Amino acid sequence: MGRVQNPKKGAIDANRSKTFMKMSKEIYVAAKQGGTDPNANTALRLAIEKARAVSTPKDTIERAIKKASGANDAENFEEITYEGYGPGGIAILVKCLTDNRNRTASNVRTAFGKNGGNLGESGSVAYLFNRKGYLAIAREDLAIDEDAMLEIALDSGAEDMITKDYAYEILTEPNDFLDVQTAIAEAGYQFVSAEISMMPTLYTPLAEENQAQFAKLIATLEDDDDVQDIYHNCAE
């Protein structure tokens, strides 16, 4: 979740069931807070599109929405974002959905503390990120016409398209995200990531001696059921 990471650096999530569970929770919370109609609930529509981008099964999405519509459903999740620094001074934002704030805070603090990082106060890291629409299309399909895709993206309101070894990354303002996503999808392109994300304003290189510890910190956070998204400014 978050930015698409270079597969060479091991950011492919092998635990699909855990990913689907997290997507289900995000859809549930969006539907619970704003209603079960995605046409009238932008947060829910975004959560559904994000889930679809990682191939979350349709019935998983539908179950989460149905559960949120239950009049007797008393489950309650709170959204909390933790800020801190990892090994080598890498800035990290950790977005959580939890029904137990104390448990989540303890787990996140322990993950940082045992892996060369430390939690900071609110605002200590957030200023290094901007909220942006983020769309990624894998470069596996050699038939993709990069110029044509760029034209569609810009004409529909995108800010920029970045070409990397493994993906085309398209950035938008949050309010333009759905228009850009729709235009690109209608042109036949498939997304490997589609979400409102937190994008770094600058990137920090990570020394080789810190890379293993940083990877362990991210893996530990990803494995926590309360953690929904992780954003960082580590240079690739």
User: Is there a single domain that holds both residue 102 and residue 208?
Assistant: yes
* Same domain membership, residue 61 and residue 41: yes
208 and 108 assigned to the same domain: yes
Is residue 1 situated within a structural domain? no
Instruction: Check residue 142 and give its pLDDT.
Output: 61
Give residue 7's pLDDT: 41
Write down the pLDDT at residue 141: 63
Mean pLDDT over all residues of the chain?
Answer: 90
CATH number (domain holding residue 30): 1.10.10.200
Question: Given a cut of 50, is residue 197 above it in pLDDT?
Answer: yes
Task: Give the model confidence (pLDDT) of 40-85 as tens digits.
Answer: 999 999 999 999 988 999 999 999 999 988 866 667 899 999 999 9
Position 166 in a domain? yes
Q: 114 and 206 in one domain?
A: yes
187 with 217, same domain?
Answer: no
Do 178 and 82 share a structural domain? no
108 and 135 share one domain: no
State how far the alpha carbon of 183 is from the alpha carbons of 4, 21, 123, 142, in Å: 21, 29, 35, 21
User: pLDDT band at 11, cuts 50/70/90?
Assistant: very low
- Residue 236's pLDDT band (cuts 50, 70, 90): confident
Residue 191 lies in a domain: yes
Residue at 5 is within a domain: no
Give burial (CB, 10 Å; 0-12/13-18/19+) of 135.
buried
Q: Average pLDDT, stretch 143-171?
A: 91
- Name the domain count of the chain: 3
Regarding predicted confidence, which is higher, 4 or 147? 147
Query: Based on the domain organization, do 213 and 112 belong to the same domain?
Result: yes
Using the predicted structure, report yes or no on whether residue 130 has a pLDDT greater than 50: yes
Is 2 inside any structural domain?
Answer: no
Do both 192 and 207 map to the same domain?
A: no
Parent domain of 95? 78-127+202-232
Single residue among 50, 68, 86 that ends a domain in this structure = 68
CA distance 66 to 202: 41
CA–CA gap between residue 96 and residue 89 (Å, rounded): 22
Domain of residue 102, CATH code: 3.30.70.980
